[in-house]
Each structure stands twice: as structure tokens, then as C-alpha cells.
């Protein structure tokens, strides 16, 4: 059990992480660091954190520091945190991109106390009120560049994620960012683009509300995601995302061509090929 744990950012991921630590009895006291007093107060009211402190004071008092903030902000914040920690503390992050952050910390003298992680879970909601109990159970968590972290630090983070019900995968940062571009980031871009398409072409809000089916709702659900979180992710991982976007656009063009040429046979073939995803996703 940890004495003090600091979560930097008191939102969906970190808030759910904090709830999990409390439920599993892994932390006696949880400190929150937030940009706004209102967010800190909400997190205290919801029972996510026990107290709110400025970053430097929180880090100095903590055994574990868990960072879940927008990936562009994390580059600077993580440098500050790593300048403060000792070899008795552990730092982990939950960012959706890893290559830029790992590169930024590569030569830091305390790099070994940092464990780069990405719990593969999230919703379209944000803020302290978005945190949910048992959020990580049954999900995957990626640990990147395990060999650059102290074994003791990795063991601690692995134990926490296992206690929260996650299974762990290991990747280098470059491969992680490539895979998340295909598995996660393209889904968000597609959802944002589809929402913009509908909003542009369907001027009647009532028609969208009345006619939208469950399929449409599930497809555009991610379009409600926080822009301040996702725009930095897209920019940090732009090369991988451009690759997947080019392939996605190519696939869309195939469907467009089928309709233009009334090629029903090829249209069926495209859909049947897509059905192969059933082997992976039940």
C-alpha cells in the first residue's frame, strides 16, 4: 500500500485510476493536481482525491505520481516532475502517444524511475465527473520501453494494473504509436469527420435527433470527445495517422467507385471482406 499517491490531471483516466486504487486498498491518501480550483473541488466532492496541492509540493510528498493530461502539456510537466523525483519514487503516465515523451525523457538522469504506460480504455467524456469505478477491468495496458525503467519501478506499476484487472502488453514507443493510430486514433478522426458531414448536410437538428439510429449513435459517439485532448494526440502522431488516413481514404474511394459504376458484385466483395473483422471482434 502506498502512503501518498499524486494524480496529475483529475479527469476520466486519472480519476478512474484513483477510484481503483482506493477500492483495492492500494493508497492511503490521494493528492490531486489540477489546472483549476473548480476541478480540484469537484474531484474532492466526488471522492476521487483527498486533497489538492500545487505540483511541486504534491510530487515531493508522494510515493507514486500518475500523470494523465493532454500529451502536448505532458512533455513540459513530465520534465518538471522528473527533475523533482528521487530514486525512491515512481512516475507513470497514461498518454495515448509515447514516442515523443519517451524521446524527451531519454537522457534524463531519473529516466529509470519513469514507466511509460497506456491503459487502453476511455470514453467520450472528460473531467472528474467522467471517472467510473472498475474502469480498467478486462482491458489491456501497454508498457513501453520497459528495459529503460528500473525493474522495481516496473514491478510496482505492473502490480497496480494487475490489481485493477488489466493484462499487460509490451512494445517500443514507435510501434505503440503506429498501432494506436490504426486501432484508436483513426476511429476518433472518422467519428469527428462523420459528425461534421452530418452537421453540414443535415441542417435540421430535429431530423438528426429523431432519425438517428443506434448504429449512427455508436459511430459518432467519439465525436463528443474533448478537443483539447485529441488535437494534440493527432499532431504528435501525425505521421502514423496520415498513413492510416491515406489507406482509409483509399477504401472509401472503392465504395464510392462501386456506387458510381453500379458495381454490385465488387460492393458485396468489399463488405464481405470487411466482415472478416468478426474473427477478431465478436
Contacts of residue 232, Cβ cutoff 8 Å, sequence gap at least 6: 70, 71, 72, 73
Residue 230 has a pLDDT of 97
Spatial distance between the Cα atoms of 276 and 11, rounded to a whole number of angstroms: 36
pLDDT along the chain (282 residues), means of 10: 94 97 97 96 97 98 98 97 98 98 98 98 95 97 98 98 98 98 95 89 68 72 94 98 97 97 97 91 72
Indicate if the alpha-carbon torsion angle 31, 35, 40, 43 is positive or negative: negative
In a shared domain, residues 22 and 120: yes
This prediction has a pTM of 0.92
> DSSP assignment, residue 155?
H
Domain boundary at 130, 152, 172, which? 172
Residue 207 has a pLDDT of 66
Residue 201 has a pLDDT of 75
Spatial distance between the Cα atoms of 269 and 272, rounded to a whole number of angstroms: 5
Element holding 171 (H helix, E strand):
strand 167-171
CA 108 remoteness from chain centre: 24
Q: How far is CA 33 from CA 24, 130, 255, in A?
A: 22, 17, 48
Enumerate helices (H) and strands (E) in the chain, giving the number of each.
13, 8
In a shared domain, residues 167 and 229: no
In a shared domain, residues 118 and 78: yes
In a shared domain, residues 141 and 168: yes
Residue 213 has a pLDDT of 64
Domain boundary at 124, 149, 172, which? 172
Give how many domains the chain has, as a whole number: 2
In a shared domain, residues 180 and 151: no
Spatial distance between the Cα atoms of 40 and 32, rounded to a whole number of angstroms: 7
Residue 200 has a pLDDT of 81
Spatial distance between the Cα atoms of 245 and 157, rounded to a whole number of angstroms: 34
In a shared domain, residues 57 and 140: yes
* CB distance 65 to 81 below 8 Å: yes
Domain boundary at 152, 172, 192, which? 172
> What CATH number did the domain enclosing 132 receive?
3.40.50.720
In a shared domain, residues 185 and 117: no
In a shared domain, residues 42 and 155: yes
How wide is the angle at C-alpha 80 spanned by C-alphas 77 and 85, nearest 5°? 120
- Closest to 15 in 3D by CA, of 44, 53, 57, 55: 44
Instruction: Extract the C-alpha cell encoding 258.
Output: 462501386
* CB distance 40 to 51 below 8 Å: no
- Closest to 73 in 3D by CA, of 35, 114, 120, 125: 35
Domain of 190, in residue numbers: 176-279
Amino acid at each position: 500500500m502506498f502512503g501518498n499517491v499524486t494524480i496529475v490531471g483529475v479527469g476520466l483516466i486519472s480519476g478512474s485510476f484513483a477510484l481503483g486504487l482506493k477500492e483495492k486498498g492500494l493508497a492511503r491518501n490521494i493528492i490531486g493536481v489540477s489546472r483549476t480550483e473548480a476541478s480540484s473541488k469537484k474531484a474532492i466532492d466526488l471522492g476521487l482525491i483527498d486533497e489538492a496541492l500545487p505540483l511541486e509540493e504534491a510530487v515531493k510528498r508522494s510515493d507514486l505520481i500518475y500523470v494523465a493530461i493532454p500529451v502536448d502539456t505532458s512533455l513540459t510537466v513530465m520534465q518538471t516532475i522528473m527533475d523533482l523525483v528521487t530514486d525512491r519514487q515512481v512516475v507513470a503516465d497514461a498518454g495515448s502517444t509515447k514516442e515523443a515523451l519517451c524521446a524527451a525523457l531519454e537522457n534524463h538522469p531519473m529516466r529509470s524511475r519513469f514507466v511509460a504506460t497506456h491503459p487502453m480504455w476511455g470514453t467520450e467524456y472528460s473531467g472528474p465527473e467522467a471517472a467510473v469505478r472498475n474502469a480498467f477491468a478486462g482491458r489491456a495496458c501497454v508498457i513501453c520501453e520497459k528495459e529503460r525503467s528500473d525493474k522495481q519501478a516496473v514491478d510496482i506499476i505492473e502490480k497496480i494494473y494487475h490489481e485493477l484487472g488489466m493484462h499487460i502488453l509490451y512494445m517500443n514507443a514507435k510501434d505503440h504509436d503506429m498501432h494506436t493510430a490504426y486501432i484508436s486514433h483513426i476511429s476518433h478522426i472518422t467519428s469527428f469527420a462523420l459528425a461534421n458531414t452530418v452537421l453540414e448536410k443535415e441542417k435540421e437538428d430535429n431530423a438528426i435527433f429523431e432519425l438517428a439510429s443506434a448504429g449512427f449513435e455508436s459511430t459518432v459517439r467519439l465525436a463528443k470527445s474533448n478537443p483539447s485532448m485529441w488535437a494534440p494526440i493527432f499532431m504528435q502522431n501525425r505521421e502514423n495517422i496520415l498513413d492510416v488516413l491515406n489507406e482509409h481514404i483509399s477504401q472509401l474511394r472503392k465504395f464510392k467507385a462501386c456506387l458510381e459504376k453500379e458495381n454490385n458484385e465488387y460492393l458485396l466483395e468489399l463488405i464481405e471482406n470487411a466482415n472478416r473483422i468478426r474473427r477478431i471482434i465478436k
